[in-house]
């Protein structure tokens, strides 16, 4: 499966006193961009932790005929 979107690495050089917070960046992002980033982090965590993405468990029902 190929990733449609990824997290881009960004490096900015500046003075220590001009430090900005990550929350200011994420507040500027749209709801869909924040949700996509969260989903990407969740997917990467599950691949790292469990070696696979979680899915739905199979449910079997026994029906009398």
Closest CA to 36 of 2, 1, 7, 10: 7
- Rounded to an integer, the average pLDDT of 35-51 is 89
- Rounded to an integer, the average pLDDT of 3-32 is 81
Greater pLDDT, 9 or 14 = 9
- Residue % of the chain over a pLDDT of 70: 89
C-alpha 21: how far from its chain's center?
19
Closest CA to 41 of 62, 22, 57: 22
Mean pLDDT of the chain: 81
- State the pLDDT at residue 3: 55
In this structure, are residues 61 and 53 in contact, taking their beta carbons and an 8 Å threshold? Answer: no
β strands within 4-44, DSSP E:
none
């Amino acid at each position: 499966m190929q990733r449609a979107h990824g997290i881009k690495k960004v490096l900015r050089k500046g003075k220590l006193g001009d430090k900005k917070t990550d929350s200011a960046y994420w507040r500027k992002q749209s709801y869909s961009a924040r949700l996509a980033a969260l989903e990407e982090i969740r997917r990467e965590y599950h691949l790292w932790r469990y070696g696979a993405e979680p899915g739905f468990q199979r449910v079997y029902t026994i029906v009398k005929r």
